[in-house]
A = this chain, B = another copy of it.
Amino acid sequence: MAAAAPTQQVTPERFFNAMSAYQQTEAVKTAVELEVFTAIAEGNTTAVAIAKRCAASERGVRTLCDFLTIHGFLTKAGSQYGLPPDSAAFLNKNSPAYLGGAIEFLLAPRNREAFTLLTEAVRRGGSALGEGNMLPDNPDWVKFARAMMPVMVMPAQITAAELRKGGEAHKVLDIAAGHGMYGISVAKQNPAAQIYGCDWKNVLEVAEANAKGMGVGDRYHLMPGSAFDVDFGSGYDLALITNFLHHFDVSTCTAFLRKVCQSLVAGGRAAIVEFVPNPDRVSPPGPAAFSMMMLGTTPSGDAYTFVELESMSKDAGFARVEAVNSLGMDDLIVAYK
């Protein structure tokens, strides 16, 4: 027999946790800046040893490391700190998947400022900073392209492999290329593919460097400028639209998808990689919460559901739309002309 459920006391714990949640952001940023994770990976496992390696106080390091342990970023046994697998993979600067550089983009001053004005953003229904991070040649997108490259290698490879199942693509449009990894992965997997990357000029320099570094520079062609203004030309059998649509409202997305559709050959495909919440808009938590990032930092962006993306694509002239694969946080959706 099950015992009667105990009466749960209502506590303000959730409220107090939210009030101090910003400290998690600052603590992880500080630990990366001081190279605490790297220090531990190198074998400095006590507060004394970490403090020495990081040129910080023992007292400060002890409190920081305890706080990181509470939040799962470190382990602690006696006075010895250790790295759980995710911290070892992503926060040790000597790891190939090191993500510490992403902090500069994720916590760019404009983003932080936008969220100090969140009340105003909710009042007006869009970023209180006006154009937010949508301005031309915003240097934050260079930070993004540089910092996010390591973490995008695997999703980009999975996406390219998945798309090959639908046939080899020869002329590929890589929209808002950023780090360029999506287009580069297609080029790596198909030696006959020519990639045409479009992004702000300063960002495209990062994609170009990555393409050269990965041996496909001669097949990675540059189309600098706003994706809304650049003449894409025609004859593409694949367009990559990765983490782009969420910055804009439905009518802007639809008009843009129409432009893409017109650049494709008959039977061509648009591969849309997006944060896609369920129809309830509150699950799964990661993609659903991304809507808040768009409210804070863009005039009218959002995280769109599959039905919304399907509807925009069909209104833009695509014949059918399929959800193909989940890449973790992101989903891959393919629209067929």
User: Which positions in A face B, CB cutoff 8 Å?
Assistant: 10-30, 33-34, 55-64, 66-67, 69-73, 76, 85-87, 89-91, 97, 99, 102-103, 106-107, 112, 115-116, 118-119, 121-126, 151, 280-283, 285-286, 288-289, 291-296, 302, 328-329
Query: Are the C-beta atoms of B19 and A291 separated by less than 8 Å?
Result: no
Residue numbers in B under 8 Å from A60 (CB-CB):
121-126, 295
Docked CA distance A261–B21 (Å): 38
Query: Are the C-beta atoms of A14 and B292 separated by less than 8 Å?
Result: no
- Also in contact, A10 and B63, with CB within 8 A (given A15-B28, A122-B56): no
Residue numbers in B under 8 Å from A102 (CB-CB):
19
Residue numbers in B under 8 Å from A28 (CB-CB):
15, 18-19
Best-surrounded residue of A21, A56, A102 (most CB of chain B within 10 A):
A21
Q: Contact check: which of B63, B293, B329 meets A23 at CB < 8 Å?
A: B293
- Also in contact, A18 and B10, with CB within 8 A (given A119-B33, A122-B34): no
CB distance from A155 to the nearest CB of B (A): 11
Query: Are the C-beta atoms of B26 and A57 separated by less than 8 Å?
Result: no
Q: Contact check: which of B107, B121, B122, B280 meets A76 at CB < 8 Å?
A: B280
Best-surrounded residue of A57, A59, A69 (most CB of chain B within 10 A):
A59
Q: What are 19 inter-chain pairs, A to B, with CB distance below 8 A? A: A12-B89, A13-B86, A14-B71, A15-B91, A15-B99, A17-B286, A18-B24, A18-B73, A19-B107, A21-B24, A22-B26, A23-B289, A34-B123, A57-B122, A60-B125, A60-B126, A60-B295, A63-B291, A76-B280
8 additional A-B residue pairs with CB within 8 Å, beyond A34-B123, A57-B126, A67-B292: A18-B27, A19-B25, A19-B107, A22-B26, A27-B118, A29-B119, A30-B118, A56-B122
Residue numbers in B under 8 Å from A69 (CB-CB):
282
Residue of B nearest to A295 (CB): B63
Residue of B nearest to A12 (CB): B90
Residue numbers in B under 8 Å from A67 (CB-CB):
288-289, 291-292
Query: Are the C-beta atoms of B151 and A64 separated by less than 8 Å?
Result: no
Residue numbers in B under 8 Å from A58 (CB-CB):
125
Residue of B nearest to A283 (CB): B70
Query: Are the C-beta atoms of A73 and B14 separated by less than 8 Å?
Result: yes
Q: Contact check: which of B25, B86, B122, B293 meets A21 at CB < 8 Å?
A: B25
Docked CA distance A285–B17 (Å): 10
Q: Contact check: which of B10, B25, B89, B107 meets A85 at CB < 8 Å?
A: B10
- In the A-B complex, the 8 residue pairs with the smallest Cβ-Cβ separation, listed nearest first, are A57-B125, A60-B122, A59-B125, A22-B22, A21-B24, A22-B25, A21-B21, A67-B292
